[in-house]
Each structure stands twice: as structure tokens, then as C-alpha cells.
Amino acid sequence: MDTYDLIMRNAEEVVTDEEVRDLAAEPEGKRVYVGYEPSGVLHLGHLLTANKLIDLQEAGLEVVVLLADVHAYLNGKGSFEEIRETAEQMKAQFVAYGLEEENTEFVYGSSFQLEEDYTLDLHELELSTTMNRAQRAMAELQSGETAKVSHLVYPLMQTLDIEYLDLDLAVGGLDQRKVHMLAREKLPELDYEVRPCLHTPIVADLTTGEGKMSSSEGVTISMEDSTEELEEKVNSAFCPPTRDPEDDLENPVLELFEYHVFPRFDEIVVERPEKYGGNLTYEAYETLANDLESGELHPADAKGTLATYLDELIAPGREKLRELRN
């Protein structure tokens, strides 16, 4: 797979394709980042963007992980001491998951977001940005939560992070698109260059196939799940053998194969007794998806295989969590 294809693998959208092609032509020394609010144990939402960072490391880019402690503080996630303890645990989990520690720069937001130049730039953005514009870029609030001034400042800081981390590419889930568009709009007003951005997909709710998988609502899979808990969650997942084109439901089992499993394994083996046709081996996601659609692969076999491979992926992080807590 060439550099451009590796950068683009499982990307839902890039802005712009021309800018990303230029980046792929000369990746050496180019810096890419994802920002993570230190809020707890890593789950599949974190790990989807982490898979993309692993791709980008393989493509030759320098990876920066922003441990956004100031953002977490503004979001009411605890004291700085508590947030930094969580951030260190998350750092260890990312490395256990597969990010190359020697080639990954982990940066605390507080290491630069409290400096004078950053603060003055932030005030400049506050002066030039309407409340309506900031609200459009603001993250969705939990049900019943009231917006605070800190929620409006949050996306303005994300805009500045792209400049102050000296980045060449910003990566995030598709839900970060509105922040990245704000950055492309606002950075030139401060005489800073715009950067391309890459958005990864959002996996559907595990049990219904609707909306998005969320750690705060519904069921998700995290690094602290035991093998048995993981198997139970996957086995209860929504997985219709065929997709009705008339509805808006997705197949989260297939999405997890596409975005989590196939990027990390060269081949996937579905183990079946000979009386049910014997083992199936897949080297491409599309073949597995087609077999599920045709009936060659039963949903129960797909779920069992998915659980096995997901467990292999998160097992090192699960063990690291045990070490940190003992």
C-alpha cells in the first residue's frame, strides 16, 4: 500500500484531498496529531483514531498525541492532579495498544496553553468569534447539561492547538469536523496557515445500529473489559445478515471488523467445525462482508471471531491497567 492509500485508509473524509496528496508525497518530518481529553479508560472510540495514528506512523509521519488536560479541566473532569493521573494512564494504554513510544510525542496541553502568546491569541479569537459560531463548533452536551462559557472557549483552544503544536495534519473523528472547519476559517485571521484534516468514521451503537457508539450512553467496549465481558457485548451486538437499504441502521459488527480488526491483522480466520463448512480465511474486509450478506458466514460466527480479535488487540492495554492499579 502506497503512502497516500495508507493515510487515506478508513478515512471518512479529508479536507482537502489535494493537501493530503501533497503531504503524502513528502511525509518525512511532517507532524500529525489527535487530541484526547483525559477522561478515563480507553474505549473503541479512542482506538479507532489510534488505529489511524498507527497507519500514519507506518506512512512515515511524526505522531503527536495531545493529552488535553486543560480541556478536561474546562469540561469539569476533575482537578489538574486527577486529570494528569488519568492522562498518564491513557499514555500507557496507547503504547500498549500499539503506538510506537519512541516515535510518539505525548504533549500535555498545559505545557503550552497557559503561555502568554497562546493566551493572547485565544483572546484575539474570543474577540473575533461570535457566540453562535463558537456554539456551532462546540461538542454536543450530555442530556440535561447546560452550556457554560468554558464550552465555548473549548473549540477556540482546539483551533490554536493546531498552530502551537506545529502540525501538518489534524486527525479526529467525524464529530471533530466542525472544530477543524473553524480552525481553517480562523487561523488565517491570525496570519497562521491552514492545515489539512482527516476524519475517521463514527461506529454505530453496538446494540441497535443507530446513532454512534458512546461510552456515556449505551454500550461500548473498553480496555478494562474482561474477555468474558467483551464476548458478552459482541455476542449481543446488532448484526443483521443483510442490510435494508430503506433504513438508516448500520451493522456495528461489520464496522468493527473494517475499522479495528482488518487494519491490524493481515488475515482473519473464522474457525468453524467441518460439519459447518470448516474454517474461513479472509485477507480483505470486503470478502467477509460479502460472505455475511450471502449467508456463507453466519452472524454468530462473525461475532465470535470479532470478539477473539478485539480481545487480542485490547489485552495488552488491559494488562497495563492492572499493573498501574496494583
Task: Judge whether 55 is annotated as a binding position.
Answer: no
Q: In sequence order, what E strands does 160-304 have?
A: 169-173, 197-200, 268-270, 280-282
Using CB atoms within 10 Å of the CB of residue 239, give its burial: 0 to 12 exposed, 13 to 18 middle, 19+ buried. buried
- Annotation-wise, does 161 bind a ligand? yes
Strand runs labelled E in the chain: 13-15, 31-36, 62-67, 104-108, 169-173, 197-200, 268-270, 280-282
36 is known to lie in a ligand binding site: no
Per the annotation, does 248 bind a ligand?
A: no
**265-301 CB burial, b ≥16 within 10 A, e <16:** eeebebebeeeeeeebebeebeebbebbeeeebbbeb
Q: What is the dihedral of CA 286, 258, 24, 53, to 10 degrees?
A: -160
291 marked as binding residue: no
Which element (helix H / strand E) includes 93?
Answer: helix 80-97
- Is 17 assigned to a binding site? no
**Nearest CA among 271, 289, 290 for reference residue 281:** 271
Q: Which residues contact 277 (CB under 8 A, 6 or more apart)?
A: 296
> How many Cα atoms occupy the beta-carbon half-sphere of 92 within 13 Å?
19
Name the DSSP letter for residue 242: S
Count helices and strands (H / E) in the chain. Answer: 13, 8
Count the residues in the chain: 326
Dihedral sign (CA 233, 234, 235, 236): positive
Q: Extract the C-alpha cell encoding 65.
A: 498525541
The secondary structure element, H or E, covering residue 30 is: none
Binding-site residues: 33, 154, 158, 161, 176, 215
Binding-site residues for L-tyrosine: 33, 154, 158, 161, 176
Binding-site residues for ATP: 215
